[in-house]
Amino acid sequence: MGTHIATTPFGRRPMTLGLISSQMSAKIVDQDAKVSKWQVFRDIREAKDALGATDRALAVLNALLTFHRDEELTGEANLVVFPSNEQLIRRANGMPPSTLRRHLAVLVDCGLIIRRDSPNGKRFARKGQSGAIEQAYGFDLSPILTRAQEFRELAEAVAVERKALRLVKERLTICRRDVVKLIDVGINESVPGNWSSYQRRYEAIIGGLPRTAPRQVLEAIAGELEDLWADVHQTLELFIESQNPDANESHSGRHIQNSSPNHNPNGESENGLGNEIEAGRDAEHHDNVRSLPQRDVPLGMVLSACPDIANYTKGTQIRTWRDFAAAADRARPTLGVSPGAWQEAVEVMGSQNASITLAAILQRAEHIRSCGGYLRDLTEKARSQKFSVWPMVTALLNARVGALEKAAGKGGQESPAAQERGAGAAASSLDISNALRDSMKKKGW
């Protein structure tokens, strides 16, 4: 007659179908099965959320495994361990008895161990004459052996899901950063676009991002952000391409323009400007545009040629193109340039070249009848690639240098008293002229 093995828990603990299922699984043990108990424990630890185990319950399971002397769990060995509560508490780092009992119940419910309770609920082992254990009452570790492959697969699935979650969080973080900074570029650089709509879309998407969310939710939000990024990036790309229709016109394109900054859209010349307009026509007739400089205009050169723009900086110093564009935008109303004409110039020329053109018009405003009409005329020339800001700036810079030299040379034609009064001013003007010319030579202007 075989020995009956207890299958129901001791005392008031109820029997459940889950316990019966665990016991049935534990019976199907291959006698040749062999696993490392610590490797299986690591798999269980990785898959604890899927199994429904807690970290404290795993601490108790770790303590139980230490009572199995062998490193491996095999189908031939006795897999029932029978430590007392006091021994378990010591190996579980002093866990309170009530907490120990609660987490032992969790391990049983998860199907990680099976209770083999004695008639009185005590845990012990009965040995035979040979000293081998014939009957043991305690906790059966057989489920760890029989479900080792299941635990490994669960651990691998958890690792894959964790990696996918990390990747989608990286996508989300990078996309958020890109969208915010690209929108800032569009706004700060005055790029034409519906930036307020982009900003509202971004805020609506981020507003739906919970503090803790599953991977599927994060992937959906990341997809919406990537769509927004594509729209913002396309807006900026189209603007850059509109500024460089020949792939990079400032470096390899052919510039065709009337380089005179004093061109009157009505065909009139004022205050002796006929020679300058005629010179511009001769330049177009001889096709001198092939010799235009193949580089961008430096900010320092523009400020030297157009010093009047500094009056619109609100007391600050122009250090960057952004500061320069802000000053040009403030100067626009004083020249009578309508918002529509300014917006068209920015779209056609770009924010930087449009600001340079406005600064040049401001510098010669007293000689131009309609500054707004003049800007529209230059915008149309730029649209057909017949205008560049470089000759305009160099013409203004040369005119300023010549004016300073002329002012310095007037001292010899005046009366002695006038010469004496203007000696200091003439010397100062000559110094400025020489300094500008030296600066131009050093910088290759």
- How confident is residue 157, by pLDDT bands cut at 50, 70 and 90? very high
Q: At 303, list the tokens.
A: 């400020």
CB 121 within 8 A of CB 11: yes
Residue the block writes with tokens 């100062």: 428
| pLDDT surpassing 80 at residue 114 | yes
The more confident residue out of 420 and 328 is 328
Tokens 């898959």 -> residue: 47
264 residue type, one letter: N
* Cα 267 to Cα 277: distance, rounded to the nearest angstrom: 9
pLDDT at 443: 45
- For residue 385, the model assigns a pLDDT of 87
Tell whether the model's pLDDT for residue 72 goes beyond 60: yes
Q: How far apart are CA 208 and CA 228, in angstroms?
A: 15
Asked if residue 76 lies in contact with residue 43, where contact means CB atoms within 8 angstroms, the answer is: no
The answer to whether the CB of 351 falls within 8 A of the CB of 189 is yes
Provide the pLDDT for residue 394: 84
Closest CA to 115 of 137, 134, 130, 133: 137
> Which has more confidence, 112 or 294?
112
Per-residue pLDDT at 406: 73
